[in-house]
Amino acid sequence: MNRRIASIASNTFREAVRDRVLYNLIAFALLMSGAAILVGQISIDIERLVVINLGLTAVSLFGIVIAIFIGIGLVSKEIEKRTLYTVLSRPVRRWEFIVGKFFGLAGTLVVNTFFMAIGVFAALLYVSHRFQRSDGWLLVALYFIVLEFLIITALALLFSSFSSPLLSAVFAFSLFVIGSFAEDLRGFAGLTHGITRWLATGAAYLVPNFSALNVISSVAHDQPVSGQLIAYNSAYALVYAAMALSGAVLIFERRDLK
Amino acid sequence: MSGLRRITVIASAVLLISLVASVVLLRRVDEVRSGATLEEVLYISSPKLLKRLSLGYSGLLADIYWTRAVQYFGSKHHVGAERYDLLAPLLEITTGLDPHLTVAYEYGSSFLAARPPNGAGMPQRAVQLEEFGIRNNRDDWKLYYELGFIYYMELKDYKAAAEAFARGSRIPNAHPWLKLLAARMAERAGDVRTAQMMWATTFNSTTDKSIRANAAAHLRALQVDDDVTNLETLVERYRQQTGHLPGSFSDLISAGFLRGVPVDPLGRPYKLGGDGHVEVRDPDDLPFIQKGMPPGYVPPKAPKFLPSD
């Protein structure tokens, strides 16, 4: 990574920390400890299942909310505060600014996920009293959640490069919901005919495929995740994030900032 | 090349390459995960719980589950599968989420009831599904008709079929044939004419192309079975009269048994074998026939449907 991108990324990370983004960890810790204590008292034999499902879902949702609400402000806030002009008056290209912002927020989310993962494993240890071999699949589920964050961060940046923060949040959140049903969408497209089929298939392939990245249910049931899926999902998330970032760069390069 | 232009070209190239690569990778992911989504959705198999989790959007969720059921059935049927383990739970969740989604009873029960590879071979689950549908949609005569149809065709329980048709005939605006069917069940339940009447009702009461094609194929098959029986009776009568089997249909025409070469429902002439058996020319085009098949004929796994109209 070039030095200018690294500087923007580290500043973005510091800014997120200053904005008390990591305070969500307190809410997460309360949720996990509460769930771990409560579930042992009110249910039979599903403590482990509940902790995994609740924990990983919370990691995913907390991260998605952060990715969207921080991501949409990354560009607009800099314009609003006029700090963007200071940055761009230095030898920093616009594309470097976008890419740096992406890595900064992605880094914030990775750190955040790391601490939340510790919370999930601690709660799991509390209810199960020991780890088992299949708990290793939780790491895969967490890795897929980070891949989700990369895609949603890139999308939030894409929308914020041309739209207002409110609309960007709406677009990004809508795409997250639609993307969670991506496999169903492709199924629906397969049932149509003629031009509708072409249009529906095109749209179904264009939206991000979050359904394949969500393996929370299967790891909660101790089901392994294939190596092939890990490889394809990794490549897909990187390629999709690259696609959204390229779009953001193309728009931002032409944007009139006066 | 100016800086802006260079960045535009590079970013556009990255965008296009990423777009193509994402589609290719998505197809690979789909190959790896084939069937995974459906198994995952059934981790929660309670319609009541799903209804609560849907936060009031149970109609939309029911539509999604119904589409999943159709996709599941279609993909299994396409490969001539013998087992359809997820079909019944998918249909039960669908109708549990939206008990008024009558299309799920109409099609779902026929998917469930028919014997493999044409369906899941679970007529009792199909009956349960229809009964649930009737409890929630008492004024829909089609549900009673489908219930009677399953009892008649798959379970051969003519008394229960008659009852279902009789219950349906009492619904306002019910198809007038329901009364007739109820009466026929009591009189001549097992004969070909009754079966023809049932399939004709199905053919005439639906606008769906696949159901019409299925009904038309069954009607053609019943016609073939009837024709072959009649023609082989004529062959036997010819043999009794002349002491030998006819060499072709011309012999039967010359002897006054037939007016012309008989044709199947698709307009293709029947074949007369040397042993006096009557056969159809293209059995693949006439799925569900019980008679008139060439010796050693193995029907394709998935029946071939011809346009019904």
Rounded to the nearest 5 degrees, what angle is found at the Cα of B71, between the Cα atoms of B69 and B74? 105
Please tell me which of the candidates A93, A232, A253 has its beta carbon nearest to residue B32: A232
pLDDT, tens digit, for every residue of A114-133? 998 998 898 888 888 888 88
pLDDT at B46: 78
Question: For chain A, what is the HEC assignment?
Answer: CCHHHHHHHHHHHHHHHHCCHHHHHHHHHHHHHHHHHHHHHHCCCCHHHHHHHHHHHHHHHHHHHHHHHHHCHHHHHHHHCCHHHHHHHCCCCHHHHHHHHHHHHHHHHHHHHHHHHHHHHHHHHHHHCCCCHHHHHHHHHHHHHHHHHHHHHHHHHHHHCCCCHHHHHHHHHHHHHHHHCHHHHHHHHHHCCHHHHHHHHHHHHHCCCCCCCCCHHHHHCCCCCCHHHHHHHHHHHHHHHHHHHHHHHHHHHHCCCC
Q: Packing angle between helix B58-78 and helix A182-191, nearest 10 degrees?
A: 60
Q: In percent, how much of chain B has pLDDT > 70?
A: 90
Cα–Cα distances in Å, from B156 out to B162, B190, B191?
11, 8, 12
CB < 8 Å from A in window 153-192 of B:
none
Residue type, B211: I
Across the interface, whether the CB atoms of A246 and B11 are under 8 A apart is answered yes
Asked if the bond preceding A91 is cis, omega within 30° of 0, the reply is: no
**How many A×B Cβ pairs under 8 Å?**
84
Of A36-45, B45-54, B134-143, which gets the smallest average pLDDT? A36-45
Chain-chain contact of B15 with A239 (C-beta, under 8 angstroms): no
How many CA within 13 A on the CB side of residue A41? 5
Distance from A206 to chain B by nearest Cα, in Å? 8
HSE of B62, CA atoms in CB hemisphere, 13 A: 21
Residues of B in contact with A222 (CB under 8 A): none
The answer on pLDDT for A191 being more than 80 is no
Q: How confident is the model at residue A40 (pLDDT cuts 50, 70, 90)?
A: low
The verdict on B43 touching A (C-beta cutoff 8 Å) is yes
Q: Which residues of A touch B (CB under 8 A)?
A: 93-95, 181, 183-184, 186-188, 190-191, 205, 209, 211-212, 217-218, 221, 226, 228-229, 232-233, 235-236, 239-240, 242-243, 246-247, 249-250, 253
pLDDT of B7-18, one tens digit each?
A: 888 989 999 999
For residue A2, pLDDT over 90 is answered with no
Cβ proximity of A101 and A157 under 8 Å: yes
pLDDT higher than threshold 60 for residue B308: no
pLDDT at B309: 44
Question: Helix A137-160 to helix A94-128 angle, to the nearest 10 degrees?
Answer: 150
Cβ <8 Å between B18 and A236: no
What Å distances lie between residue B275 and A189, B279, B281, B295, CA to CA? 52, 11, 16, 11
| Mean of pLDDT values over B287-298 | 84
Residue A44 vs residue B87, higher pLDDT: B87
Enclosing domain of residue A89: 3-254
User: Which tens digit of pLDDT belongs to each residue from B248-266?
Assistant: 899 989 888 888 999 999 9
Nearest CB among A183, A205, A246 relative to B18 is that of A246
One-letter amino acid of B258: L
Choose, out of A158, A175, A177, A236, the residue to mutate when testing the contact with B (most B CBs < 10 Å).
A236
- Quote the DSSP letter at residue B272: E
Among partner residues B8, B15, B37, which is closest to A183 by beta-carbon distance? B37
pLDDT above 90 covers what percent of chain B? 25
Q: Residue B267, by phi and psi: left (phi above 0), alpha (psi -120 to 50) or beta?
A: left
B102 Cβ contact partners less than 8 Å away, ≥ 6 residues apart: B133, B137, B140, B142, B143
- Whole-angstrom Cα distance, residue B161 to residue B171? 16
Q: What is the mean pLDDT of chain A?
A: 86
* A170: CB partners within 8 A, 6+ apart: none
* Euclidean distance between CA atoms A30 and A32, whole angstroms: 6
Confidence label for B55 from pLDDT (cuts 50, 70 and 90):
low
Residues 6+ apart with CB under 8 A from A133: none
By percentage, how much of chain A surpasses pLDDT 90?
Answer: 33
Which tens digit of pLDDT belongs to each residue from B84-133?
888 898 999 999 988 988 889 988 998 899 888 788 899 999 999 999 99
Nearest to B25 among A93, A232, A247 (CB): A232
pLDDT in tens, B22-52: 999 988 888 887 656 656 666 667 777 777 7
Set out the domains of chain B in order of their start, with CATH numbers: 38-197 (1.25.40.10), 220-309 (no CATH)
Minimal Cβ distance to B22: which of A184, A226, A236: A236
B4–A253: do the CB atoms touch at under 8 Å?
yes
Structure tokens belonging to residue A128: 């199960």
Chain A environment of B63 (Cβ under 8 Å): none
Does residue B56 have a pLDDT over 80?
Answer: no
**What distance in Å separates the CA atoms of residue B85 and residue B83, rounded to the nearest whole number?**
6
Chain A within 8 Å of B15 (Cβ-Cβ)? yes
Give me the pLDDT at residue B232, please: 92
- Asked if the model's pLDDT at residue A100 lies above 90, the reply is yes
- Residue A218: list chain B partners with CB under 8 A: 36, 40
Per-residue pLDDT at B304? 66
**For residues B210 and B305, is the Cβ–Cβ distance under 8 A?**
yes
What does the DSSP 8-state code read for residue B284? Answer: G
Tens of pLDDT, residues A227-258:
999 999 999 999 999 999 999 999 988 887 66
Cα A55 from Cα A67, distance rounded (Å): 18
Mean of pLDDT over chain B: 84
Is A236 in contact with B19 (Cβ distance < 8 A)? Answer: no
Whether the CB-CB separation of B119 and B81 falls below 8 Å is answered with: no
pLDDT of residue B303 exceeding 70, the answer is: no
- In three-state secondary structure terms, B204 is helix
Would you say B294 and B281 are in contact if contact means Cβ atoms under 8 Å apart?
no
Residue B129 has a pLDDT of 95
Asked whether A186 and A207 are in contact (CB, 8 A), the reply is no
Interface test with A, best of B7, B10, B26 (most A CBs within 10 A): B26
Q: Per mean pLDDT, which range of A44-58, A205-219, B32-46, B226-240 is the poorest?
A: B32-46
Q: Number of folded domains in chain A? A: 1
Q: What is the pLDDT of residues B189-212, one digit of tens each?
A: 667 777 787 778 878 877 777 778
User: In the Cβ-directed half-sphere of A78, how many Cα atoms lie within 13 Å?
Assistant: 23
Interface confidence, given as ipTM, is: 0.76
Name the DSSP class of B308: -
